[in-house]
Amino acid sequence: MELYEYSAAKLSAMMEQGEISARELCESVLNRIETTDREVRAYLTLQKEEALKQADEVDKLRRSGEALPPLAGIPVGIKDNICTKGLRTTCASRMLHNFVPPYDATVIKKLRAQYAVIPGKLNMDEFAMGSSTETSYFQKTANPHDLTRIPGGSSGGSAAAVAAGSAVVALGSDTGGSIRQPASLCGVVGLKPTYGAVSRFGLVAFASSLDQIGSFGRTVEDAALLYDAVCGPDPMDATSVRRDVTPITPQLHPSVKGLKIGLPHEYFEEGVEESTKNAVMNAAAELEKAGAELIPLSLPSTGYGLSAYYIIASAEASSNLARFDGVKYGYRTEHFETLEQMYENTRSEGFGDEVKRRILLGTFVLSSGYYDAYYKRAKMLQQQMTREFVSVFEQCDLLLTPTTPYTAFKLGERIDDPLMMYRCDVCTVPVNIAGLPAVSLPCGRDDMGLPIGMQLIGPHFSEARLLNTAYSYEKLIGGFPPMPRLSGKEGAK
């Protein structure tokens, strides 16, 4: 087995015991990138020299006898909408093709304090708008399980890199499913934390009331390790919640005895593939066998989730993206005489079609005469959906649903139909609307061998319960399947 194949938890222990060095691990991951990324195309920017320097620093500290945190020396891939000081951060947009942040996002500061190694920045849908990573200005990322298919999105680069072994763990962001959906399609674990659990300072804003940074790993423990490293309050983000934080990873233990798991029937209805429903229900049966209680229940407003989501997210996006005007940073058109022309041409040349659609929709729903009919009603619906979640959590500890209605589709299959693309998010958007935490984890394959994911949703700040349940399931099935084979020079096994 090659080093890049191991879990972060295992690698951390191996480094601590002196069995391997951080440099050896870093070289293994950089080699893996070298052999597979021409096909997978997960990375937008690499910093090999800097990563090796960071790894050497870890080895030096370790030799001096210093006790190091668990992520020390672990290569962590970073979604390209998270600001990294001195390292280009593009949001996969022409608008920021040349942007080099003068500061680190809070999550990056925390990773540096843990001596994590950052090999590079990962592809995504432009400004995180999309569900397939195909709206990236730069390149299309392939699903490591089938290179002719999409990895999901918008954090498709993060999910694909972790699935392919070209990162051990990765950070992504989730506004309507952008961590959970690609995790599901790439067969890895993806955690979307409670709104306010992780600082958004330095995350390029898409929809500020819904965005949240979260973690990817090939095991539940790895996703938990990375979450533990980046969560917590931050004076630089007024929406980060002031509360005490206890690391979750050391508490993980496989047990679901007496756990009440709700199954909301709206998430298993039309549009969800039979193979997905069956896989999730089989997982539910496994958990029941291990002592959990299954409770069928209803979340009646679920069907309105997509409407509320696309109104609120687009409205916030149209405001947030007003800052891209060609004045202070990023792309500036060459074709202008007046200031107005400079704004319009910069934005028209700098943004792709999906970003333009969302800006137009957001501007429309906020415009005079339409605000009450759209935005205000969507905000009221948001409260109603939140109340429904609160009330079902009086009957159960968490909910189990499919993450996505279907497995990975072909590259190019849906890119020309925005509505088809939006429907990918039907099972994930309600979670963001209510600000809840949720985790997606693998629960089987369809008849084409493509990964199926299930989603566990919990009350606010129930990350420990969610991850523990996910961890229990992982142990019950004897671990998740190994990495997919890739046709690069060295296969996965």
If the CB atoms of residues 293 and 344 are measured against other proteins, the closer one turns out to be 344
Shortest distance (Å) from residue 93 CB to other proteins: 14
Q: Is 377 in the site for other proteins (CB under 8 A)?
A: yes
Q: Which stretch binds other proteins (CB under 8 A): 58-66, 93-101, 121-129, 439-447?
A: 93-101
154 is catalytic: yes
Q: Is 277 in the site for other proteins (CB under 8 A)?
A: no
The size of the interface with other proteins (CB under 8 A), counted in residues, is 66
- CA-based torsion, 165, 167, 168, 174: positive or negative: negative
Q: List Cα–Cα distances, 154 to 144, 166, 177, 195, in angstroms.
A: 16, 18, 8, 18
Q: Which stretch binds other proteins (CB under 8 A): 153-161, 165-173, 219-227, 379-387?
A: 379-387
Q: Which stretch binds other proteins (CB under 8 A): 121-129, 280-288, 353-361, 464-472?
A: 353-361
Of positions 329, 413, 477, 481, contacts other proteins by CB under 8 A: 329
- Local structure of residue 375 (DSSP, 8 states): I
462 is catalytic: no
Query: SS3 for 425?
Result: helix
Q: Is 436 in the site for other proteins (CB under 8 A)?
A: no
Helix and strand counts by DSSP (H, E) for the chain: 15, 11
Q: List Cα–Cα distances, 124 to 93, 161, 221, 249, 399, in angstroms.
A: 9, 12, 24, 28, 28
Shortest distance (Å) from residue 403 CB to other proteins: 21
Look at strands 293-297 and 212-217 and give their pairing: unpaired
Q: Which of 159, 157, 134, 233 is nearest to 193 (CA)?
A: 233
Of positions 330, 352, 430, 459, contacts other proteins by CB under 8 A: 330
How crowded is residue 440: how many other Cβ atoms within 10 Å of its Cβ? 34
What HEC string does 188-224 produce? CEEEECCCCCECCCCECCCCCCCCEEEEEECCHHHHH
Contact of 227 with 248, CB cutoff 8 Å:
yes
Q: Tell which phi-psi region holds residue 130, choosing left (phi > 0), alpha (psi between -120 and 50) or beta.
A: left
Of positions 328, 394, 478, 489, contacts other proteins by CB under 8 A: 328
Among 7, 21, 28, 79, the active-site one is 79
Among 131, 154, 158, 472, the active-site one is 154
Residues that bind other proteins (CB under 8 A): 98-100, 102-103, 196, 209, 235-236, 238-239, 241-242, 301, 303-304, 306-308, 310-311, 318, 322, 325-332, 336-340, 342-345, 347-348, 351, 356-357, 359-361, 363-365, 367, 374-381, 383-384, 418-419, 422, 435
- Residues assigned a catalytic role: 79, 154, 178
